[in-house]
């Protein structure tokens, strides 16, 4: 009598109970749940006709459109594995991820068709290229394929331990790693989200967060589970965001702190009147307390900070409100809300461990590493047992984040153990950026650290040693990086130094560079 724990169960229930409720708004397209799931079934049938079977991988490169949302149902209900790719990455990244994942179908939005065409011959495993919007030579039309298919397909038996998605994330190495998320992982994260962040029946959720990013923090399924409405947003433009909040009656949104900063600082003449009562969920980097205070006091919105990683599906903690917080002054309450918080009821066990593997005292000062085990921890990195063993070998997933635990059990991150820079909620590998700069003929040595940025939370700063007799400007090196990387990975600052601080064994001491980094946004 057991039912596998899979987010497809949420779709089954909502389809049965709420077929006529509005499911999706995407520009001029409005779909009920009955219409939405009919489209999903037709696309499943079309994929099956292409030869997609259980365990096969289907990759997507697209912004937040109804077609992208449909992938989170149409692909898994075939038993296939969805690979949502960050559309901001470079062509080389697309090639690596598609080939590494073994995707046999690649679906792309019109904005990415030309980029994919330029590297198509480097993706020999892809049997079908599908244009979600737009068209071109060698591209099959998504709407035509789905429209011509009957909504019947073979539904395989799905175990909760089966792979649901492979989400690629950049860690401390230059190459992204494929995080294997199971049906159970996602189901448990959705349930935990609904317990702590109670989106209600018929509420309206705005997609300010990319769906590719850790499966939209599982809100691709959470919103459906609540029979709420998905309001798609293809690009974050502040004026458009506020327009949609008013016109569509938006009551929930998720956003990295960089988006919140942008919204909080949008001039009144641009944003117009702001309806109160919007629930905001933020994660990706620690939000500034003054940003939280401004959104709550000026807009009348409610901000909840959560913490996690792609490897944890993603939520590990939630900064849950407590009655005693209500008595705090605005700035004090905002400071508490900027902490990472406590375990979700469904996520599993979290501890801050010292170098010996012992839990640190709850004193708010002793620093350790956040470690977690339980329901939301990934199955591992795809085809990378060495990297999997490195972070999960002792039965705990090691986050690489240094934190303290306060006397009330709230965890607060102090710094990152890894050299990953989180800019606008996206991970940037410092090693990858350094590798590009070292290809410039004038550069002898380069080190990248994250520095505070008032819009993006943090951005890369380069400390560069030039070759003897060589010359280069900051603008030149930034331009070189932008030509060879996704633009958000390029440094925003370049400092020229005579030598880099190093240990006796020649390792660069990045903590020294961080101490000297200035909190400015220009180069």
pLDDT digits (tens, 9 = 90+) for 3-31: 999 999 999 999 999 999 999 999 999 99
Strand order in the sheet with 368-373: 349-353, 368-373, 397-405, 411-416
Residue 520 pLDDT? 38
Q: Specify burial of residue 475 (Cβ count, 10 A radius: 0-12, 13-18, 19+).
A: exposed
Residue 172 pLDDT? 38
Q: Tens digit of pLDDT for each residue in 381-413? A: 999 999 999 999 999 999 988 889 999 999 988
Residue 521 pLDDT? 36
Q: How far is CA 19 from CA 160, 200, 256, in A?
A: 26, 16, 32
Give dist(CA 61, CA 89) in Å, integer.
10
Q: Is the pLDDT of residue 517 over 70?
A: no
Q: Is the pLDDT of residue 307 over 70?
A: yes
Please indicate whether residue 81 or residue 287 has the higher confidence score (pLDDT).
Answer: 81
Domains, the chain, ranges and CATH?
8-235 (3.40.50.12780), 420-516 (3.30.300.30)
Q: Tens digit of pLDDT for each residue in 474-506? A: 999 999 999 999 999 999 999 999 988 874 434
**DSSP code of residue 295:** I
Residue 348 pLDDT? 95
Q: Is the pLDDT of residue 95 over 90?
A: yes
Given pLDDT bands bounded at 50, 70 and 90, which one contains residue 428? confident
Residue 513 pLDDT? 87
Give dist(CA 508, CA 499) in Å, integer.
10
Q: Is the pLDDT of residue 523 over 70?
A: no
CB 208 within 8 A of CB 217: no
Most confident of 60-74, 317-331, 357-371: 60-74
Q: Is the pLDDT of residue 182 over 60?
A: yes
Given pLDDT bands bounded at 50, 70 and 90, which one contains residue 261? confident
């Amino acid at each position: 009598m057991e039912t596998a724990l899979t987010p497809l169960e949420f779709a089954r229930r909502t389809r049965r109970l709420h077929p006529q409720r509005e499911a999706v708004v995407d520009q001029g397209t409005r779909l009920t749940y009955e219409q939405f799931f009919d489209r999903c079934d037709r696309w499943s049938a079309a994929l099956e006709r292409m030869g997609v079977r259980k365990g096969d991988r289907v990759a997507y490169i697209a912004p937040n459109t109804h077609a992208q949302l449909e992938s989170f149902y149409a692909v898994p209900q075939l038993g296939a594995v969805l690979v949502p790719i960050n559309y901001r990455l470079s062509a080389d990244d697309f090639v690596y991820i598609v080939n590494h994942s073994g995707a046999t179908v690649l679906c792309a939005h019109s904005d990415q068709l030309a980029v994919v065409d330029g590297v198509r011959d480097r993706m020999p495993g892809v049997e079908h290229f599908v244009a979600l919007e737009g068209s071109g030579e060698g591209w099959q039309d998504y709407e035509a394929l789905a429209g011509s298919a009957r909504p019947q397909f073979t539904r395989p038996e799905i175990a909760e331990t089966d792979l649901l998605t492979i989400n690629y994330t950049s860690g401390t190495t230059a190459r992204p790693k494929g995080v294997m998320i199971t049906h159970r992982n996602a189901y448990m994260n959705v349930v935990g989200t609904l317990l702590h962040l109670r989106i209600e029946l018929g509420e309206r959720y705005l997609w300010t967060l990319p769906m590719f990013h850790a499966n939209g923090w599982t809100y691709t399924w959470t919103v459906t589970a609540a029979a709420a409405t998905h309001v798609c947003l293809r690009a974050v433009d502040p004026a458009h965001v506020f327009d949609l909040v008013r016109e569509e009656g938006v009551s929930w949104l998720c956003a990295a702190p960089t988006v919140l900063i942008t919204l909080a600082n949008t001039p009144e003449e641009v944003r117009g009147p702001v309806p109160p009562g919007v629930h905001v969920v933020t994660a990706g980097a620690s939000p500034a307390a003054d940003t939280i205070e401004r959104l709550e006091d000026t807009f009348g919105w409610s901000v909840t900070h959560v913490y996690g990683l792609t490897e944890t599906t993603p939520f590990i903690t939630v900064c849950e409100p407590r009655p005693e917080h209500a008595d705090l002054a605005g700035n004090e309450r905002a400071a508490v809300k900027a902490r990472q918080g406590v375990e979700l009821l469904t996520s599993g066990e979290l501890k801050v461990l010292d170098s010996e593997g012992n839990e640190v005292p709850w004193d708010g000062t002793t620093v350790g590493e956040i470690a977690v085990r339980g329901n939301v921890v990934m199955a591992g990195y795809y085809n990378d047992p060495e990297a999997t063993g490195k972070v999960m070998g002792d039965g705990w997933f090691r986050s690489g984040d240094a934190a303290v635990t306060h006397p009330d059990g709230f965890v607060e991150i102090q710094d990152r153990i890894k050299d990953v820079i989180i800019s606008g909620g996206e991970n940037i590998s410092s090693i990858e950026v350094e590798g590009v700069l070292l290809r410039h003929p004038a550069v002898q040595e380069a080190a990248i650290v994250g520095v505070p940025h008032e819009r993006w939370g943090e951005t890369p700063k380069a400390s560069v040693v030039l070759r003897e007799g060589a010359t280069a400007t900051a603008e030149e090196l930034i331009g070189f990086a932008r030509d060879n990387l996704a633009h958000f990975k390029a440094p925003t600052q370049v400092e020229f130094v005579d030598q880099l601080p190093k240990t006796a064994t020649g390792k660069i001491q990045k903590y020294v560079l961080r101490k000297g980094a200035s909190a400015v946004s220009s180069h």
